[in-house]
Chain A
């Protein structure tokens, strides 16, 4: 099994794709909530699978998470995580339900959160596919309220069969001055990196 060999320049290109994707997603969220959404500088890194949960922050923090599978010209997993307080405010804005101090959500709350993730994923992937002229389709979302690390653990499975490392494209977003603790994550499958880089002319024939 060969480790992923990406140059610093190639990682920069992938980070920029993550940046463009996340900007579109943040804009979509901003419209949805009619409020300003700020985005932190996205991070991109090739990490051993064992270190990805740590790199995301606190792996046993309870969060709402959505998992969306991406397939087509390239494949990967899209994840949207939000801490429960922020997610509660989001749901309150959208459907006027209160999830305050609740770590078990009902059907309406879960599916609303899933729809938000759907919109963010579609915006993110539209930006990436416009840039790369590639076609992908996105699955319906799967939703959970649980430890972030345990949700990530499932999202890493698609990389695990072929690689010991994965590319983590992560962006944190904030709502105005409030701390909206949310993460947009794209984990391309091992084979997807070459496809993405080739599409923007950054893949040399050798490596």
Chain B
């Protein structure tokens, strides 16, 4: 997981981007947020979005779409297709959606990971993009990096690094 390379595109919270092979996509510190990767393994195009909230409260405040699990996922599918991906060939990999904090505080914000995940999965089902791998839920934060050459999604937590 060599992330010092200049061809790594960093995605901030609530942001998204689409790149061509052989670049890499990186997002640091996914807590309850979800990192959604959509790629076409044959057209060598891939995109990532770091979504924060399950759904936009109303359409008016829904800009930019990349913040929302539903709109951000659909935005990414369109962006990958616009960059040359073929709809029938698209695949998705997901990571994040953790519930990290312990303690007696029962805040809805702390349980949002699960809802974010449901929303991403529902949006992908709607546009028929299969989820081929996921590393979601649990109690740990994740940093993820997608390699467009191997289509591997590297996941780094506080304790280990692995690819899915």
Contact = CB atoms under 8 A, between A and B. Distances in A.
B107 A139 contact: yes
Interface stretch (B8-16, B86-94, B120-128): B8-16
Interface of B: 12-15, 28-33, 52-53, 57, 61, 63-64, 67, 98, 100-105, 107, 109-110, 112, 139-143, 156-159
A155 to B, nearest CB: 8
12 contacts: A49-B14, A52-B13, A53-B28, A103-B159, A140-B104, A140-B105, A144-B102, A147-B141, A151-B29, A153-B33, A157-B109, A157-B112
Interface in A47-65: 48-54, 59-60, 62
A77 to B, nearest CB: 8
Nearest to B14: A49
Given A154-B32, A157-B109, A60 B156 contact: yes
A154 B105 contact: no
Contacts of A68: 105
Q: Give the most central of B33, B101, B107, B157: most A CB within 10 Å.
A: B101
A156 interface: yes
A1 interface: yes
B9 to A, nearest CB: 13
B67 to A, nearest CB: 6
B13 A49 contact: yes
Nearest to B104: A140
A164 B13 CA distance: 10
Q: By DSSP majority rule, is chain B's interface helix, strand, loop, or mixed?
A: loop
Nearest to A53: B29
A50 B105 contact: no
A145 to B, nearest CB: 7
A153 B107 contact: no
Interface residues of A, number: 41
A139 B108 CA distance: 13
A173 to B, nearest CB: 22
Given A147-B141, A153-B52, A158 B109 contact: yes
Nearest to A111: B103
A18 interface: no
A151 B31 contact: yes
Contacts of B156: 60
A37 to B, nearest CB: 24
B12 A51 contact: yes
